[in-house]
Amino acid sequence: MPEPLDRPDRLDRLDPEGAVQAAAKRCSNWGRWGQDDRIGTLNFLDEAKRREGAGLVRRGASFSLALPFDTKGPQNGWRRRTNPVHTMLDTGTDAERGLQGFPHGLGGADDVVFMPLQCSTQWDGLGHIFDHGKAWNGRPAGDVVTSEGDLVTGIETVAALIAGRGVLLDVGRTLGEHGELPDGFAVTTEHLTRTASEQGVAVGRGDLVLVRTGRLTRARRDLAAGRGWNGYAQGPAPGLSFTTADWLHDSEIAGIATDTWGFEVRPNEFEVAFQPLHQVAIPNIGLFIGEMWDLDALAADCAGDGVWEFFLTAAPIPVTGAVGAPVNPVAIK
């Protein structure tokens, strides 16, 4: 496996508070689109960028990037996150036995699902994470998210917006052994730019960036071997280094998603910390973050034809007031 590139010296592992504060100040987009803004970096994804994305469709090959939503999913109950429970309300058995009460032989089936909105492939909304009591654009967190949900930046506000040029950065294939990065591998800005360079693809304003680490590939191997998800959710994983905060801001991307549960490297890079990159990216940059995306089939196709850009549509389910939502992203080449 290639030697990982050195992490920037400016990361003081004993001072997460100072690092978060400094990065938040450098990377803040508060007020950039006005005090009433509710969509953050999706302002970069305009109509021209969507036309550009649609123009990338050549073959018509499509790839769903979603994991299944079922009881066999990766959740283990941490913070009351469980896997989806699917229950039938009406069935074919009911219809056969004439229990439904419809006229002229009509029968049907109906069902219901109970699930946390971030239990599988999903977007983090702008109301998901706060920084010292402040939500996106400097609003008091208590004014934004109450017991009634996210009253300002609910996920429904972006239901029509997340579609455009997608770019896959397969860091696992570029730097990993057999296409996989080990747990705890911090993906730096240099890793991202090196991957883009070797793939011959550019990342720029308004793009939807997908970063493959290979963590889901390993989870699938564990499942096949009877080891369950083996810590895929909430456990150690490769992911973005805290030091990528400036790249996330300066590149002006609209959103970013990974094939891991937590997006950033786990364990986190500080002695005592929990998801510090989230704390900068969501409430300060206004960046939309996707997690648990299945990028393997798309990555194999991109490696096969050497084309790492595509049209990506990834609309969240518009649950009013939700701070995150399930999504079935579809990449079309």
- Residue with the bigger pLDDT between 6 and 86: it is 86
Is the confidence at residue 74, as pLDDT, over 50?
yes
Q: Beta-strand (E) ranges in 91-205?
A: 110-114, 122-124, 145-146, 149-150, 163-170, 186-187
pLDDT in tens, 120-165: 999 999 999 999 999 999 999 999 999 999 999 999 999 999 999 9
CB 153 within 8 A of CB 38: yes
**Tens of pLDDT, residues 49-70:** 999 999 999 999 999 999 999 9
Using one digit for the tens of pLDDT, what is the confidence trace for 187-223?
999 999 999 999 999 999 999 999 999 999 999 999 9
Domain 16-78+116-332 superfamily per CATH? Putative cyclase (3.50.30.50)
Tokens of 302: 């991109």
Q: What does the pLDDT read at residue 9?
A: 46
β-strands 330-332, 62-64 pairing:
antiparallel
Identify the pLDDT of residue 77.
Answer: 82
Which backbone phi and psi does 166 adopt, to 5 degrees?
Answer: -100, 145
Going by pLDDT thresholds of 50, 70 and 90, the confidence category of residue 76 is confident
Q: What share of the chain is helix, strand, coil (3-state, %, to 5)?
A: 30, 20, 50
What's the mean pLDDT in 281-286? 98
Confidence of residue 2 (pLDDT cuts 50, 70, 90): very low
Tokens of 211: 């970063």
Residue 104 one-letter amino acid: H
Three-state SS at 165: strand
Looking at the chain, the whole-number percentage of residues with pLDDT higher than 70 is 97
Flag whether pLDDT at 5 surpasses 60: no
Q: What is the mean pLDDT of the chain?
A: 95
| Pair 133, 140: CB distance under 8 Å | yes
Q: Which residues pair with 62 in a beta bridge?
A: 332
Cβ contacts of 187 within 8 Å, gap of 6 or more = 171, 181, 211, 213, 238, 239, 240, 241, 244, 265
Residue 213: what pLDDT? Answer: 98
pLDDT tens across 107-124, in order?
999 999 999 999 999 999
**91 has a pLDDT exceeding 90:** yes
- The full set of domain ranges for the chain reads 16-78+116-332, 86-114
Strand order across the beta sheet in which 324-326 lies: 62-64, 330-332, 309-313, 163-170, 208-212, 255-258, 288-291, 122-124, 324-326
Phi, psi of 78 (to 5 degrees): -60, 130
For residue 7, is pLDDT > 90? no
